[in-house]
Structure 1
Amino acid sequence: MFNRNTGIVLAIALAAALGLLLAQKVFGPAGAGKRDTGSIIFYPTPRALPDFSLGQSDGTRLIPGELRGHWTLVFLGFTSCPDVCPTTLAELARAQKQWESIPESLRPRVVFVSVDPERDTPARLGEYAHAFHKDTLAATADVPSLERFATPLGLVFQKAPGKNFKANPNDYSMDHSASIAVLDPEGRLAGLMRPPFDPQAIARDLTKLTGKSAP
């Protein structure tokens, strides 16, 4: 079975969604009540992530330390995705272009994580992600490692076999969360962005947050 922990992952994702709804009720649209942002639903308290290790398209490892020092947006997808992935990456690219003037050492990051490691080789994944924006980081891993990374973020994915899957193992798609996880400069899960996405609002909010977290 492709995703043995689907039930557990879905339960955790539901719990995360309920937590975000509670945060909205208690803290208002910005969740934490301390940041005036319109594109992010904040958790009441940032959540530390367990260790993870993904392979980036450039051959290096994506580990917790790599995500510290920047606000980071994490989006799950796959290169064969017909609609949601290219649309979301294009919207994120528009936001990225607006914050290119921020010093690289502080600039917000976008991480595209492929949940289709069978077909998305590092070269293919990198070429796909960089076609939208040169700064987008692209990574993937085996399914258990992807689950360990995605589950604490409240994100889910599952293989969806097509009608001819038995005869053609490549006849499948990937169901996955369309939301974007937001990590703070400490590498903790700070909140979530839900579609539809507004590139201008994302750029404005991430620029503002970067300014507040700058030394």
Structure 2
Amino acid sequence: MGFFIFERAKKGPRKLKKYQFLVFFSAILIALGGLFWFAQTKKDQSLDLEQLNALGLVQLPFPRTLENLELLTQEGELFDGSQLEGKWTYAFFGYTNCPDICPVTMNFLESTEQRLRETLDSDQFDVFQGMFVTVDVARDGVDEVREFVSRYSDLFLGVTGTDDKIADFAKQVAVGYRRIPSASEIQYLVEHQGNIVVFDPQGDCYGYIKPPFDTVQLTRLFQHLIKHG
């Protein structure tokens, strides 16, 4: 009997230690699995419709294909829409003599590009493109657009052209504008919409971002678009 009791006492702690080890090991596996799931969830998490609307994004029911574009880039080369392919483009329609809205919005596009450069890997960053389209071709030729765009980024695309071609482009993406009557042919204002037009990697009009803008908002929307757009 004494021998039996001794053996039980001897084996008991071993079983307990083994049990404790299994519990501890299982807890580690569960914790690691939870961390992995959380990381993947955060990585792949998309913004829901309410969040997108709160950030100002208006997505069209169906992307709008562009047609018959015969414009000019800031380098004097043909702009036919192919320059939009393979990228998510934030485009702003304005004019270089704009006193407020245009430079402010272009500054936001510039700061967004800088933020994306700092936070994304090169492959993702290369998908971003900022673009300026003039709606004042009487004063904004190739040289003026090139100088204006270069103030903000050497990577931004600038677009100009003839009155009818610019009007057609703006109409296709539902951007309205008009010259405000003035006695001067040089000093005048142009009234235009303040939305940022979003083009998808197929070169189609994807939707719009409504003002007011800020860098965090524009960056967050772009990060959503490259993963879930």
**TM-score, normalisation: structure 1:** 0.76
The answer for unaligned runs of 5 or more in structure 2 is: 1-48
Question: Where does structure 1 differ by over 4 angstroms across 4 or more consecutive aligned residues?
Answer: none
Equivalence for 1:153: 173
Aligned residue identity for 2:112: A
Equivalence for 2:194: 178
Match of 2:207 among 179, 191, 201: 191
Match of 1:71 among 77, 85, 88: 88
Match of 1:91 among 104, 108, 123: 108
Distance in 1 of aligned mates of 2:125 and 2:202: 14
Aligned residue identity for 1:180: I
RMSD: 2.1
Aligned residue identity for 1:161: P
The answer for unaligned runs of 5 or more in structure 1 is: 1-26, 32-36
- Contact 2:124–2:226 (8 Å) recurs in 1: no
Question: CA shift at 1:123, angstroms?
Answer: 1.5
Question: CA shift at 1:210, angstroms?
Answer: 2.1
Over alpha carbons, which structure has the higher Rg? Answer: 2
- Contact 1:125–1:138 (8 Å) recurs in 2: yes
Aligned residue identity for 2:146: G
Distance in 2 of aligned mates of 1:50 and 1:40: 24
Aligned residue identity for 2:206: A
Question: CA shift at 1:28, angstroms?
Answer: 4.6
Aligned length: 178
Q: Secondary structure at the match of 2:226?
A: helix
Q: Secondary structure at the match of 1:103?
A: helix
Distance in 2 of aligned mates of 1:212 and 1:194: 20
Matched, 1:135 2:155: yes
Please list the CA deviations of residues 109-133 of structure 1 after superposition, one character each: whole Å capped at 9, or x if unmatched: 1110111111112112111111012
- Contact 1:161–1:171 (8 Å) recurs in 2: no
- Contact 1:39–1:205 (8 Å) recurs in 2: no
Distance in 2 of aligned mates of 1:155 and 1:117: 15
1:1-215 matched pairs, under 5 angstroms: 28=50, 30=52, 38-100=55-117, 101-103=121-123, 106-162=126-182, 165=183, 168-212=184-228
**TM-score, normalisation: structure 2:** 0.71
Question: CA shift at 1:39, angstroms?
Answer: 4.0
